[in-house]
Structure 1
C-alpha cells in the first residue's frame, strides 16, 4: 500500500488465545483507519479476509494482497504482519490444524466466491461456543469445505533476498510514481545493468519492469476500492495515461478496474 501523504497506521492488538474455543473461530472487527499488526505467528491457520477494504500480508517471501473477494491463507507458525486500508471490515478466521486440510507450503491468496462470502458472514453471527453437533456445526463444516476448495490467485509481490535489491525495492515502494530506470539504478548501486537485471529475475522470478508494474497495480487497489478516479490513481502510480494503466490492470487482473470492483 502506498504510504505517501497518509497518516501513520495504528497498531492492532492480537488476541491472546492459548487455544481455539472451536476448531473454526472467527475474529470480526471494523477498522476506520489504516492499521497494522506487529510481526507474529499463530499455532493455527489464519484466513485473513475483509468484506470491505484491502489487506496486505507481509512475510519474508513477499507481500500478499487481498482486495474484496480475495483472502490470504496463512499457514500455522508462519511469521507475518497484517496491514489494512482505512474503513476495513475484517472477517478473519482461525482454523485448527486438525481440520485445515488445504495443502500450502506458504501463504496463498484465495478467490472468495459469493457462496464462501455468505458463509463467512453467516458464521460471524454465531456464538463463539457454537454447538458443533447441531446446525451451527454443520455450517462451520460447509465453510471449511469451501475454504479447502477455494482456488488460489496470483496476487503476490515477491521480495528479493539480495540486500541491494531490497534497498531498491523499498525505494520503489515509497514512491510509486518514480521514473528512475534500471540503468539509473545500476549506476546508483555500482553494478552493471545486466547484472542487476539478472539478480532481479533470480530473486523474484520477475523482470524489473514486471515487478515494478505489479507493485504499482497493487498500490492502486486501495484508492480504487475507496472510489478515487481511475485517472488520478493512474497518475499517482506512475502511468502517463489512463489507457496505459487500464491495459496493465487488465493484463494483471483480467478485467478493467471498474469491472474488478463491481464484480469482485
Structure 2
C-alpha cells in the first residue's frame, strides 16, 4: 500500500469530514500515535480496554476502561497506551458538540454510549443523514454531550523547576519529600514554589501530589496488581487511606472504576 493509502494519511488529506461524525473501523488508524500531532476536528478516543495516556500542553489525561478522551480540534497532543489497549476513535465536527472550543476532557462512557460508538464504526462513511443511520448519529451526539466529565486530568506546570519536581513525582509516586524539602534542594523559598504550583497548575502542591499518586495508580490497577501493593507503591501508608483518597477523588472505589467488561 502506498503511504497515502494508510488510514492515517487518508485522514490527514481530508479537507473536511464527509459527515459530521467520521469513524468507520476500516478507515481509521485505531492505534496510539505517540508523536506530537493535531487534527482539524475534535477526536474522541474510547478506551474499550487497557489505559490511554494523552499529553497536551495543559497536562496529562489518563483514560481507563469505560472512559473516553475528547481532544479538541487543533490541540497538539501525544497518545500512549498500555499493552493490549483497545481503542475506538471518532472524528467529529467541533460544532456538533456543546463543549467549549480548545478544551479537552475525559468522559465516562455508559454502556449505551459504548454500544453507539461501536455500532457507528460499522456504518457507511457517507451515511444517510435523514435515515436510520442519521438518527443513530444524533443519539450518539446527544449521549456524548450529556456524558459526565471525569477528574482524570493532571495539570502540568510550564516552568522548568516545577516541571522537574512533577516529573520526579510521576516517576516515583512514593517520593516522600515535602515542598520544603524541594525548596531547600533547589535553593528557593517554599513560598515561591507554593505560589508557582498554584499559579501554573491551579492546585496546591499537596493536592497536585495526591492527584498524581492516584492517577499513577491506574495503570497498575488496570494490570490487575493487588490494591495493597499499589497503595504502598504510590506512597500511602495504608490501604484504607488509599481507598479513601481514591473514592474521594473519583467518587468510586478502585474496583468500581476499573471493573472489566467483556470485549466483543
- TM range, smaller chain: 0.7 to 0.9
- Partner deviation per Cα, 1:199-246 (whole Å, 9 max, x = no partner): 111211111111111111111111212211101111221222211111
Q: For structure 1, which segment, 199-208 or 16-25, has the greater mean C-alpha deviation from structure 2 after superposition? A: 16-25
Match of 2:229 among 212, 232, 249: 232
Q: 1:84 — aligned with what? A: 81
Q: Which is helix-richer, 1 or 2?
A: 2
Q: Is 1:186 the equivalent of 2:179?
A: no
Compared CA separation, residues 185 and 100, structure 1 to 2 (3 A): same
Alignment-derived partner of residue 3 in structure 2: none
The runs of 4+ residues in structure 1 deviating greater than 4 Å are: 27-31
In structure 2, what is the equivalent of residue 7 of structure 1? none
Alignment partner, residue 174 of structure 1: 171
Rounded Cα–Cα distance in structure 1 between residues aligned with 2:227 and 2:155:
26
Query: Matched residues in 2 for 1:94 and 1:37: separation?
Result: 18
- 2: CA distance between counterparts of 1:51 and 1:168? 33
1:71 aligned partner: 68
CA RMSD, 1 decimal:
2.2
Secondary structure of the residue aligned to 1:126 is coil
SS at 1:15 equivalent: helix
Give the corresponding residue for 2:127.
130
| Structure 2 spans left out of the alignment, 5+ residues | 1-5
| Contact preservation (8 Å) 2:71, 2:103 | yes
- Which residue number in structure 1 is paired with residue 205 of structure 2? 208
Q: Which residue of 1 aligns with 2:218?
A: 221
In the alignment of these two chains, the number of paired residues is 249
Q: How big is the shift at 1:102?
A: 3.1
Question: Matched residue of 2:259: which SS?
Answer: helix
Q: 1:144 to 1:235 in 2, by over 3 A?
A: same
CA offsets per residue over residues 130-186 of structure 1, 9 Å max, x none? 343432222122112222222323221111122210111111111122222211111
- Tell me the residue number matched to 1:38: 35
Q: Please say if residues 150 and 250 of structure 2, whose CA atoms lie closer than 8 Å, have aligned partners that are also in contact.
A: no
TM-score (norm 1): 0.86
Please give the secondary structure, in 2, of the residue aligned with 1:56: strand
Rounded Cα–Cα distance in structure 1 between residues aligned with 2:209 and 2:132: 48
TM-score (normalised: structure 2)? 0.86
